[in-house]
Structure 1
Amino acid sequence: MLSHEEVQAALSARLDGESTGLDDAVVDAHLQQCEQCRAYWDRLLSLSRNLGLAEVGGGMAPPPDLSEVILAGVEGQWRRFAQRRALALALARVGLVFMACVWAAWAIRFIVTADPATETAVRLGVASALAFAAWKPGQIPGILLIVGTMFTFTLGFAVRDILVDSANGVLGPLLILLFSFVALVATWAIDKGADVRRAWRLLSADPA
């Protein structure tokens, strides 16, 4: 007379594709009559299906390439994330190109009004840098340093002029610099999103 433990051990071996040590017909006959062992077998089958196991040679075994099962589960989510990131990066690059055009138009205005050539060269340089950043986002940190410095100095002069009530014509250049700075930061953050999040987690980690 077979015990429940012997039958259940044989069922586990069958699931693993190993020799059960018992006649399959005897095990199957016991399953038909024993509700406890039949419930045990059903739980084994359910667990195997949840783990993505495949039937091989009358038993159950992991699929040849488990990575395919894992990737199949995350592929849709990853594709949606990649599409959103690509769209956001494209919009950020368009913003950089737009700001490059603004700086170029600003430089042309200086040429028309016969203002100092140095001012014109600076604005053309920034326009070229923004256009280059749109093409190569990896170069943004160096450009960001220059634009950020210009914005900081301009903001300081703007505050000074406001205090002495002579802030005529300051708001326009300040806004152009601000929007350029924001466009650079946004493009860089989207392009290096995973690295930025990883660095932030490291900086905000609790040492305790």
Structure 2
Amino acid sequence: MRCAQFRTALSARLDGEPTGLPDGRLDGHVARCAGCRGWLERAEQLRGHVRESAAGPSEEWSARLLDGLGVRELGGGQAPDGPEAVER
């Protein structure tokens, strides 16, 4: 069996789907194969980053962004500061 097949099974496991392989066989391959072990570590990191970003930006990040854009408050009262402001 090739590493690509094990990686497909590992991807399925990360997604909570059936792997099509016995857990012992999959875990044994990962224990012996540095390439697949590294692939799994990167996939787990990526999964964590995706979950974090799906939660949306933090309040602190949003406040820094709004401050950088010159927006005084969040919500219906947003108004840019400075000469860029355009009156309607």
Number of equivalences: 77
For 1:78 and 1:6, locate their aligned partners in 2 and report how far apart those are by CA, in whole Å.
42
TM-score by length of structure 1 reads 0.31
In structure 2, which of residues 39, 63, 72 is the aligned counterpart of residue 85 of structure 1?
72
Structure 2 segments unaligned to the other structure (5+ residues): none
Residues 78 and 17 (structure 1), Cα distance of their counterparts in 2 relative to 1, 3 Å cut: same
The residue identity in structure 1 corresponding to 2:32 is: Q
> In the alignment, what sits opposite 1:29?
28
Cα deviation 1:23-51 (Å, max 9, x = unaligned): 01110011111111111111101111111
SS of the equivalent of 1:13 reads helix
**Aligned residues of 2:13 and 2:19 also touching (Cα < 8 A):** yes
**Aligned residues of 2:72 and 2:78 also touching (Cα < 8 A):** no
> In the alignment, what sits opposite 2:39?
40
Residues 27 and 77 (structure 1), Cα distance of their counterparts in 2 relative to 1, 3 Å cut: closer
Kindly state the Cα deviation for residue 6 of structure 1 after the two structures are TM-superposed.
Answer: 1.2
Residues 26 and 198 (structure 1), Cα distance of their counterparts in 2 relative to 1, 3 Å cut: farther
The residue identity in structure 1 corresponding to 2:72 is: R
TM-score by length of structure 2 reads 0.67
Residues 198 and 39 (structure 1), Cα distance of their counterparts in 2 relative to 1, 3 Å cut: farther
Sequence identity, in percent?
30
The residue identity in structure 2 corresponding to 1:18 is: E
> In the alignment, what sits opposite 2:5?
6
Looking at secondary structure, tell me which structure has more helix per residue: 1
Residues 14 and 193 (structure 1), Cα distance of their counterparts in 2 relative to 1, 3 Å cut: same
The residue identity in structure 2 corresponding to 1:50 is: H
Runs of 4+ in structure 1 deviating by more than 6 angstroms, as ranges, are none
For 2:21 and 2:85, locate their aligned partners in 1 and report how far apart those are by CA, in whole Å.
55
Q: Please tell me the root mean square deviation across aligned C-alpha atoms, in Å.
A: 3.1
The residue identity in structure 1 corresponding to 2:46 is: L
> In the alignment, what sits opposite 2:60?
76
